[in-house]
Amino acid sequence: MHETIVARSIFSAVSAKAAELNARPISAKISCGQLNPINDEILKFAFEAAAKGTVCEQMKLEVVHIPLKATCKKCGKGFDFDIYSPACENCRSEDFEIAPDAPLLLEEIEFEDT
Ligand SMILES: [Zn+2]
């Protein structure tokens, strides 16, 4: 399962950072694109399983879904691509270019103050 792999890689990144700082992580923020979407609930569940009994237990995960960006070829305006309404927000042209999807990123980790 995709989320399990993602959860494990987040867990190892957070654990490594926690060990380096010798601090307890409270929360982490992850962002991902639209073409490789993550099910938040499955991810959180998989993370909890991976973090059980470690310094990462009890920490919260926040997943931010970043919309696909598109640029209209007619008027040049940039907009968030909406799969249900694939047209330029400004001029309704359907001639646009879609930017590369956002990668999965571990944006930030919050640690407990010691
Ligand atoms: Zn346009």
Quote the ligand 1 centre to 65 CA distance (angstroms).
24
Q: Which pLDDT belongs to residue 1? A: 60
* pLDDT tens column, 15-62: 999 999 999 999 999 999 988 778 999 999 999 999 999 999 999 999
Quote the ligand 1 centre to 11 CA distance (angstroms).
42
Overall average pLDDT of the 61-73 stretch: 94
Domains within the chain, CATH numbers bracketed? 2-67+101-111 (3.30.2320.50)
Q: How far apart are CA 85 and CA 91, in angstroms?
A: 13
Quote the ligand 1 centre to 32 CA distance (angstroms).
26
Q: Which pLDDT belongs to residue 90? A: 96
Quote the ligand 1 centre to 77 CA distance (angstroms).
6
List all residues 6 or more positions away from 86 whose beta carbon is below 8 Å from its beta carbon. 94
